[in-house]
Structure 1
């Protein structure tokens, strides 16, 4: 009985928040905005238009920090609020000494990689994702990887990676942008993690999070502005005299509207529970994988992932979009991403379209 009631609650919450115009299977690019989030964005815009104090919007930032901390499994004082993964990666890259080795996965998402490359004086080594843990060696300073690969949904073996990193004295940096919201997180097990909010966390663009160790892991807040001060409103002029004693010292100037909306999106994720979202999304992905096998197609192996990518079918994306089915073409791969608002009917409609 409990399972039935839980299912009904999950479905009723989702139905109340989402009404996509067609079959939307492109969360790996952009998540849909819940109705409550759209309403909060509207309210924030009206607040600004009326010239009223924006204090509630700053409160939204702190509510988002606390909610994300709960999802990530770390204290809120280890979470910094920013705008992009690339900016967070840049702060980490700036902390490394010249000549340090950074180990990465081949063809990982650019935001996880490029700041290390543009330094010009780091040794960046790329290996296949499946060989990442075994490739950590003495002298490796940092391992940087996405928890789930953007192009094909493969999920990194983070437990093995952490063990190898500890054995060789390396630190770990994990981008959860394609995982947070459907895949349970344990950010406290890594030195650094980052996440954008506009994919599986169902938020607007312009908000991102960074988690750091209690001792800040040797990072210097090179992008810090007034919001990074211990007393932000006393840090508006001249150099910041005292940086925040928490991870807020790594905050970037807040996109207030984005955080106003994101607060409601994170509330929905918490109401549903990541474990329930995970079970729902992966079940749909597995249904799609089984249907592909019946059609004679073999997706990129990514067991346990909510993302399914099929080689050779990327060219079908424009026709599918015209038919009201939204997916992505990534380097010739047709990428379907299943989230809480998707249903078995969405899977079956896609399979029927692919069979024609």
Structure 2
């Protein structure tokens, strides 16, 4: 299976095409922003968009556009139905009990901030503790620091294992009843390490704490079931799932959302407004003030349809094969240091002795290979790794063995240039 995937520039499962024909996924045809000969290896930052998503966005603006939840005319009513159908689609995609548990936000960052302000900011008190890990994205660190500073709470940090996974044995040993919230990455954006979310949730719940999982890197490549995970909150961004920017999802257990005050005030999130008192709509409406990103939601729906048509298992197998090939090739270069576990999910971070990652990225760009170079919004993790920055290659459905070959050839050129 692995060799079959690596020998072809396409996924093993064909996609339906217009007219009922089938053909393998073509990264040039399905993704118009990827020209032939360009290896785009920065999907962990943002995924390229397939025609299906672009067409849904274009159709939403050019043919079907109207406001939602407000108009009594037919097009507005139709758009409202389409918009809410997307909410139902998202709920099914991640295993939510009801669409009312799905809150549309601008992205995972806003979702985390919403929980920080509306749950932690109202439920935590001075002396309470928040538990994070060493590999978290800044978006899953800074909001909790802001809340902790405001209310006098404390933050503790779970260390990593030798292969750069969150150490759940250490988490088990260090968690106490004083810990009221745990917030962890389901998949690391730097290392690709996959968290055992169910075990992390069980540990958190053993002391009565709530747990939030950052699923930005998980939902594009793993099947996510929030009920099976038994987490309390889950967030992800649409643009990493082959969807548009500016749209994301916060899922929360219904009873938690119901008890939370609104995040922002404005139109649509109210029940009744007078100058004396305002009452708020039930979730999810109370958290969606103002006119929403209507067409972004439609694009997210199309993106979910796209990845599920391919199959998340097929996507994960494809990316795992590319990771395996990449790590095996880079391990043969003495000056290269690899980070993260061998079975990382779609992401390979590395450094080259004596070469700054920005120089690596610049030289690779000359060879039409696009990677990320920097601290990846994870400066505390860089301190743990003992570096200022790393180079990162991250894969998507449009990548092939040829892209890995181009990456490796580019890195070999880097080593020759810097001797």
Q: Same fold (TM over 0.5)?
A: yes
Residues 273 and 279 of structure 2 are in contact (CA less than 8 Å); yes or no, is this contact kept in structure 1? no
| Cα distance, 1:223–1:259 mapped onto 2, change above 3 Å | same
295, 309, 332: which one aligns with 1:294: 332
Is residue 2:289 matched to residue 1:278?
no
214, 217, 222: which one aligns with 2:263: 222
2:100 corresponds to which residue? 77
Residues 320 and 326 of structure 1 are in contact (CA less than 8 Å); yes or no, is this contact kept in structure 2? yes
Whole-Å Cα distance in 1 between the matches of residues 311 and 317 of structure 2?
A: 10
Partner SS, residue 58 of structure 2: helix
1:43-122 equivalence runs, <5 A: 43-47=59-63, 53=75, 55-75=77-97, 76-94=99-117, 95-96=119-120, 97-99=124-126, 100-119=128-147, 120=149, 121=151, 122=153
15, 21, 31: which one aligns with 1:18: 31
Residues 191 and 344 of structure 2 are in contact (CA less than 8 Å); yes or no, is this contact kept in structure 1? no
Q: Number of residue pairs matched?
A: 348
Unaligned runs of at least 5 residues, structure 1: none
2:12 corresponds to which residue? 7
| Cα distance, 1:207–1:137 mapped onto 2, change above 3 Å | same
What CA deviation, in whole Å up to 9, does each residue of 1:134-178 have, x standing for no partner?
332221101001111222222223233122112211111001011
Is residue 2:160 matched to residue 1:155?
no
Is residue 2:344 matched to residue 1:307?
no
| Cα distance, 1:325–1:58 mapped onto 2, change above 3 Å | farther
Is residue 2:279 matched to residue 1:251?
no
| Cα distance, 1:240–1:151 mapped onto 2, change above 3 Å | farther
Whole-Å Cα distance in 2 between the matches of residues 12 and 57 of structure 1?
A: 32
Scaled by the length of structure 2, the TM-score of the pair is 0.75
1:42 corresponds to which residue? 58
What CA deviation, in whole Å up to 9, does each residue of 1:245-275 have, x standing for no partner?
x444333542122122222111101211211
Whole-Å Cα distance in 2 between the matches of residues 116 and 198 of structure 1?
A: 24
1:190 corresponds to which residue? 231
Scaled by the length of structure 1, the TM-score of the pair is 0.87
Whole-Å Cα distance in 1 between the matches of residues 213 and 396 of structure 2?
A: 21
Whole-Å Cα distance in 2 between the matches of residues 198 and 55 of structure 1?
A: 27
Residues 28 and 307 of structure 1 are in contact (CA less than 8 Å); yes or no, is this contact kept in structure 2? yes
Whole-Å Cα distance in 2 between the matches of residues 299 and 55 of structure 1?
A: 53
RMSD: 2.9
Unaligned runs of at least 5 residues, structure 2: 6-10, 16-21, 68-72, 161-165, 376-388, 414-419
What CA deviation, in whole Å up to 9, does each residue of 1:41-70 have, x standing for no partner?
222332489999555544443233222222
Partner SS, residue 223 of structure 1: coil
Partner SS, residue 280 of structure 1: helix
CA deviation after TM superposition for structure 1 residue 198, in Å: 0.4
167, 170, 184: which one aligns with 2:209: 170
150, 157, 181: which one aligns with 1:126: 157
What CA deviation, in whole Å up to 9, does each residue of 1:95-147 have, x standing for no partner?
22222211111251122222221121221222324335333222110100111
Higher mean C-alpha deviation, range 179-188 or range 54-63:
54-63
Residues 182 and 278 of structure 1 are in contact (CA less than 8 Å); yes or no, is this contact kept in structure 2? yes
Residues 243 and 249 of structure 1 are in contact (CA less than 8 Å); yes or no, is this contact kept in structure 2? yes
Higher mean C-alpha deviation, range 115-124 or range 203-212:
115-124
Whole-Å Cα distance in 1 between the matches of residues 367 and 273 of structure 2?
A: 52
Larger radius of gyration: 2
Residues 82 and 252 of structure 1 are in contact (CA less than 8 Å); yes or no, is this contact kept in structure 2? no
